[in-house]
A and B are shown apart, each in its own frame.
Chain A
Amino acid sequence: MIPMRKAFVLAALLSVCAALALAQSRGGNWPTYGGDAQRSGWEGPDTRIVKETVKDLQLLFKVKLESQTKGARPLMPPLIMGRLISYRGFKELAFVGSNADIVYAIDADLGTIFWQKHLEYSTREPQVTASTPDCPGGMSAIPTMSVPGGAAPARGAGAPPARGGPAVPVSPFIAGTASVYAISSDGRIHRLNVSTGDDVVQPVQVLPANSKTSNLMMVNNVIYAVTSPACNLTQNAVWAVDLTGDAPKATSYALNAGEVAGSAGPVIGNDGTVYVQTSGRLLALSAGNLALKGYFMLADSSSDAAPLVFQFKNRELIATAGKGGRIYLLDSTSLGTNHETPLYQTMPMSVSGGLSTWQDADGTRWILAPVWGRNGTAPNGSIAAFKVEEQAQKTVLTPAWVSRDMNSPLPPVIASGVVFALSAGEFTRDRPKSGTRATLYALDAASGKELYSSRNLIGAPASLAGMTVSSGRVYFSTLDGTFYAFGMYMEH
């Protein structure tokens, strides 16, 4: 019998036990795409993933979920809630969004559906059913949970009071227990009960219906997103949806005509600055009100990558990639001299989808880039690893290794010194070749050496939406609507 006191005891036990199943760094949570506000893709140490034993990775389960056969991202990588003490027991849940406007909660231990919630289309504007590669339709934004980090935006009336101050009504969109937030294809924001999937509060329209919305990021009770390209004639814009008032309040920053952003969505700096990568610029916007703080002009156009924000020797650096495609290294305090000159830029390579970053035990900061096309000895695609280093008083990216050959790799995720890379299959502009299939690899993060391959265990090409790693499991999905979990076996 375990109420609060025992839950605390259990939590303490969990936290001190190196042999336990839960990852320690995030408490087993992966609350947003990329794992954190900086979208690093790095879990940190995971007690169940060990370089020496990752060869024993297994396909733990796969679940067929309802999705629409359009676009290259029918199912989304899950958010992970490492421990929910629910009315149905202690659960580790994986929340999976589907372009069919469904959010699933999967019991990550059992591989069963815990609940599913269809987000009804409910707005005056008719639902667009046509689908194009750029505007596939349906729910496109990976949901989010509240993500730690980032300074709180300045707010006027309605801001939460300081401790001891007068009581202020708390918005029903944030009061109470943890929730999953999703924006459905009708542009309404849903706050979902993690135990049941029920709407905690009546959904409210905050974005244009039928727009293509980037992955969501929720920091300090504000949800950030980007709508782009201009599907259904909606404007390309960055959005901040403030949940602290009586009703959600949306603020936008309009992008220039023709300026589009990728699906990865905004990332958040340590001071709360919102960074968005568009086809021509890296934007730095103020938290909450989205005022333009600065920008960097990319020499490459048509980037769909998301930037990275990370600490390096007491500085906050930003790495971003142009599809053309170089990787640019910037200092967050300046964003490049004259908006054009970065700290460093690599030679061109075709980076797709976004970067990942991690730091090893020696303090070395690594940048990982998924490269589509030839790179060194990998003819079709690869993961390229760089070290961030100081050379001659300059900050540079030093090539470290290039992985084995892969097809259309996704942005990798990292845990315990192991890089998980997903070769999505042979794609041409988001369209898979017939008969191609995905392969999951585990690589030594220090050398790129292959430690594990799923070989033919995956039956279809991967959804390009991305991957998740948490508590000894790696998650992704395939275009046929199958959700996969690979991981280290735990006896039930």
Chain B
Amino acid sequence: MRTLTALCAIGVCCAVISGADWPTDGGNPQRTNWQRDETILRPDNVGNLKILWKLKFDNAPRQMHALLPPLIIGQVRTPSGPKQIALETGVSDNLFAIDVDKGEVVWKKHLEYPPPARNGGATDPLCPGGLTATPVIGPADATGVRTAYVLAGNGQLHFIDLATGDETASPVQFGWPNGKSYALNMWGSVIFTTTSQGCAGNPNQMWAIDVNDSLKKVMTFNPKSGGLWGRTGAAIDSNGIAWAPTGDGTYDLPTQRYGNGLIGAKVEGNELKFKDYYIPSNWAFLLKKDLDMQVTPAIFDYKGRELMVVGSKECRVYLLDPKSAGGADHQTPLYRTQQLCNEELNFAGTGIWGGMASWEDSKGVRWVLVPFWGPSHSEFKVPVSYGPVKRGAVVALKVETLNGKLQLTPAWMSQDMDHAEPPVVANGVVYAYGSGEDTTQSYADRGLNDSSPLRIKASTHATLFALDAETGKTLFSSGDQITSFVHFGGLSIANGRVYLGTFDSTLYSFGLSGK
């Protein structure tokens, strides 16, 4: 028995040490938020989740931003031996490498630079400045080094050895200081990001840089819109086309304006070339109501065909073919759902925000997971639900073919969550969280007044949920164990642990005792 236990322990240890990675925001370049390699957490044991450790970092929040989703590498050769490392990033240009087995910081690094001349407004949550793009970790090089690509708040891209925190090359400029870049993505040797809201004068556009390019040429494409603010930046399809939503703005082909849509661009040679786009047919109405297209798409395979889903604050989900997004007129999706939420057509506090998720079950069923804020739409009917949804929920849709046409069929809607954020899915379990964030931007008595202090004061705390991915049934809730809220953070999952960072710069690691 003792031998068996020892062998099991070794086996688990090996599984962890050589296990899964989460090297980029959303888990992969396609932003599916699907951890395919999870083996420890299962529907039958996830009810026993507990906080394994939590670490409070010395990282000052900026506006409402604090921690970005951690990146996980299952096996990193560090000077003190192989470790599973989580790279946590703080908005105040701080990096923390954590030995996740011990819950200890291995190294930390502060990216120093003179304060940029241009900043956002004093209380403006949109332009916090600082490090706003989740880094990305590249594959191991010939020597086994995993490089973390980190975009500092001054717009410089750093190359950092994940094992030591050392810079492996001189940083290069990849954007404007305090320009509010979104999560980095990597395809081959090319790193992508997007920018929005014109923070500190930064143009709203897609950016790319080839880290193998000796000149480190910065390549851009500007859709002339209000901002590409999908939470996890661009998603990349199998052809290397990076897709990003364009926020609000005008659609006007003669002047090459692609607002309120989704654009795709690809690096060819040393240029980022515009390839394709999709514009909802009601874009003018969306613009008028400020219902941005602001959700990073998720790209996946369905019966041998690559598909893409994207959404907006209007709370519809669009199913698209990356080979021809929107068809010949660029306005005809393969399928468009009804509104899942946002019956009031509000620009704040309702709709789909951030990103989505997609996974395939053992029977080959392809699922799409959609988080949303606010009440569900009164006309949205779903076969399985868990009480009234007033503050937000996760909806599961199945990709199906009916009479030769693709559709997204509602399967279940989760219990009510306070501002449901993009979920992650692993091994038959959906992990979702209500951020507890106050998202009020306009008030009955004062009108528009989007103010970080007001919102921080009115925010509560995040709650982590584990749901049965087949039914949406709640298997675990963290209740009030998490004591702060989350603004534009996100979940990460690998090797039996689920991570979430909060506004008070605390990183929580949930898992199973003894695992």
Q: Do A and B come from one complex?
A: yes
Q: Which of B127, B282, B285, B344 contacts A5 (CB 8 A)?
A: B127
Cβ contacts A237-268/B at 8 Å (1 or 0 each): 00000000000000000000000000000000
When C-beta atoms are compared, the residue in chain A nearest to B249 turns out to be: A13
Residues of A within 8 A of B346 (CB): 88-89
Q: Is the CB of B252 within 8 A of A19?
A: yes
Q: Is the CB of B284 within 8 A of A195?
A: no
Q: Is the CB of A490 within 8 A of B284?
A: yes
Residues of A within 8 A of B288 (CB): 20-22, 83, 90, 92, 109, 490
Q: In the assembled complex, how far is the CB of residue B41 from the closest CB belonging to chain A, in whole angstroms?
A: 32
Would you call B515 an interface residue if the criterion is a C-beta within 8 Å of the partner chain's C-beta atoms?
A: no
Q: Is the CB of B121 within 8 A of A4?
A: yes
Residues of A within 8 A of B450 (CB): 1-4
> A6–B449 Cα gap in the complex (Å)?
12
> A85–B281 Cα gap in the complex (Å)?
23
Would you call B117 an interface residue if the criterion is a C-beta within 8 Å of the partner chain's C-beta atoms?
A: no
Q: Is the CB of A2 within 8 A of B127?
A: no
Residues of A within 8 A of B449 (CB): 3
Q: Which of B121, B126, B227, B444 contacts A195 (CB 8 A)?
A: B444
Q: Is the CB of A17 within 8 A of B250?
A: yes
Q: Is the CB of B284 within 8 A of A21?
A: yes
From B376-384, B435-443, B475-483, the one touching the partner chain is B435-443
When C-beta atoms are compared, the residue in chain A nearest to B448 turns out to be: A85
Number of interface residues of A (CB under 8 A): 37
Would you call A491 an interface residue if the criterion is a C-beta within 8 Å of the partner chain's C-beta atoms?
A: yes
Would you call B290 an interface residue if the criterion is a C-beta within 8 Å of the partner chain's C-beta atoms?
A: yes
> A492–B336 Cα gap in the complex (Å)?
13
Residues of B within 8 A of A196 (CB): 444
A20-B287 CB under 8 A given contacts A2-B347, A87-B442? yes
Would you call B445 an interface residue if the criterion is a C-beta within 8 Å of the partner chain's C-beta atoms?
A: yes
Near A by CB (< 8 A), chain B positions 273-330 give 281-282, 284-285, 287-290, 292, 294
Would you call A127 an interface residue if the criterion is a C-beta within 8 Å of the partner chain's C-beta atoms?
A: no
Residues of B within 8 A of A22 (CB): 288
When C-beta atoms are compared, the residue in chain B nearest to A7 turns out to be: B448
Q: In the complex, how many residue pairs between chain A and chain B have their CB atoms under 8 Å apart? A: 128
Would you call A86 an interface residue if the criterion is a C-beta within 8 Å of the partner chain's C-beta atoms?
A: yes
When C-beta atoms are compared, the residue in chain A nearest to B225 turns out to be: A13
Residues of B within 8 A of A4 (CB): 121, 124, 448, 450
> A88–B342 Cα gap in the complex (Å)?
10
Range of interface residues on B (Cβ < 8 Å): 35 or more
Near A by CB (< 8 A), chain B positions 250-286 give 250, 252, 259, 281-282, 284-285
Would you call A9 an interface residue if the criterion is a C-beta within 8 Å of the partner chain's C-beta atoms?
A: yes
Q: Is the CB of A89 within 8 A of B448?
A: no
Q: In the assembled complex, how far is the CB of residue A355 from the closest CB belonging to chain B, in whole angstroms?
A: 33
Would you call A457 an interface residue if the criterion is a C-beta within 8 Å of the partner chain's C-beta atoms?
A: no
> A22–B450 Cα gap in the complex (Å)?
24
Q: Which of A19, A87, A492 contacts B440 (CB 8 A)?
A: A87
When C-beta atoms are compared, the residue in chain B nearest to A84 turns out to be: B447
Residues of B within 8 A of A20 (CB): 250, 284, 287-288
Cβ contacts A145-188/B at 8 Å (1 or 0 each): 00000000000000000000000000000001100000000000
> A113–B439 Cα gap in the complex (Å)?
25
A10-B226 CB under 8 A given contacts A22-B288, A90-B290? yes
When C-beta atoms are compared, the residue in chain B nearest to A198 turns out to be: B444
Cβ contacts B122-160/A at 8 Å (1 or 0 each): 001111000000000000000000000000000000000
Residues of B within 8 A of A195 (CB): 442, 444-445, 447
Would you call B446 an interface residue if the criterion is a C-beta within 8 Å of the partner chain's C-beta atoms?
A: yes
> A339–B445 Cα gap in the complex (Å)?
49
Q: Is the CB of B126 within 8 A of A5?
A: yes
Q: Which of B126, B198, B249, B289 contacts A89 (CB 8 A)?
A: B289
Q: Is the CB of B441 within 8 A of A492?
A: no
Residues of A within 8 A of B259 (CB): 13
Cβ contacts A81-102/B at 8 Å (1 or 0 each): 0011111111010000000000
Q: In the assembled complex, how far is the CB of residue B462 from the closest CB belonging to chain A, in whole angstroms?
A: 18
> A1–B125 Cα gap in the complex (Å)?
9
Q: Is the CB of A13 within 8 A of B448?
A: no
When C-beta atoms are compared, the residue in chain A nearest to B346 turns out to be: A89
Q: In the assembled complex, how far is the CB of residue B116 from the closest CB belonging to chain A, in whole angstroms?
A: 17
> A81–B282 Cα gap in the complex (Å)?
22
Q: In the assembled complex, how far is the CB of residue B124 from the closest CB belonging to chain A, in whole angstroms?
A: 6
Near A by CB (< 8 A), chain B positions 448-463 give 448-451
Q: In the assembled complex, how far is the CB of residue A397 from the closest CB belonging to chain B, in whole angstroms?
A: 40
> A6–B124 Cα gap in the complex (Å)?
10
Cβ contacts B330-355/A at 8 Å (1 or 0 each): 00000000000000111110000100
> A456–B249 Cα gap in the complex (Å)?
39
Residues of B within 8 A of A19 (CB): 250, 252, 284
Q: In the assembled complex, how far is the CB of residue B481 from the closest CB belonging to chain A, in whole angstroms?
A: 27
> A90–B286 Cα gap in the complex (Å)?
10
Would you call A395 an interface residue if the criterion is a C-beta within 8 Å of the partner chain's C-beta atoms?
A: no
Q: In the assembled complex, how far is the CB of residue B225 from the closest CB belonging to chain A, in whole angstroms?
A: 8
A5-B121 CB under 8 A given contacts A86-B442, A87-B443, A88-B344? yes
Q: In the assembled complex, how far is the CB of residue A180 from the closest CB belonging to chain B, in whole angstroms?
A: 14
Near B by CB (< 8 A), chain A positions 1-47 give 1-7, 9-10, 13-14, 16-17, 19-22
Q: Is the CB of A85 within 8 A of B284?
A: no
Residues of B within 8 A of A14 (CB): 287
Q: Which of A10, A21, A110 contacts B290 (CB 8 A)?
A: A10
Q: Is the CB of A2 within 8 A of B348?
A: yes
> A25–B301 Cα gap in the complex (Å)?
49
Q: Is the CB of B444 within 8 A of A193?
A: yes
Would you call B197 an interface residue if the criterion is a C-beta within 8 Å of the partner chain's C-beta atoms?
A: yes
> A110–B339 Cα gap in the complex (Å)?
15
Residues of B within 8 A of A176 (CB): 446
Most buried by A among B125, B227, B445: B445
Q: Known A-B contacts: A3-B450, A89-B289. Give 11 more (CB < 8 A).
A: A2-B290, A6-B226, A13-B250, A85-B448, A87-B443, A89-B348, A90-B289, A195-B445, A491-B284, A491-B285, A492-B285
Residue pairs across A and B with Cβ atoms less than 8 A apart, 19 shown, are: A1-B348, A2-B292, A2-B450, A3-B441, A3-B451, A4-B448, A5-B124, A6-B197, A19-B252, A20-B284, A20-B288, A88-B346, A89-B346, A90-B347, A109-B289, A110-B345, A196-B444, A198-B444, A492-B285
Those 5 A-B pairs whose CB atoms lie nearest each other, nearest first: A3-B450, A89-B346, A491-B282, A85-B448, A17-B250
Using a CB–CB distance below 8 Å, which chain A residues touch chain B?
1-7, 9-10, 13-14, 16-17, 19-22, 83-90, 92, 109-110, 176-177, 193, 195-196, 198, 490-492
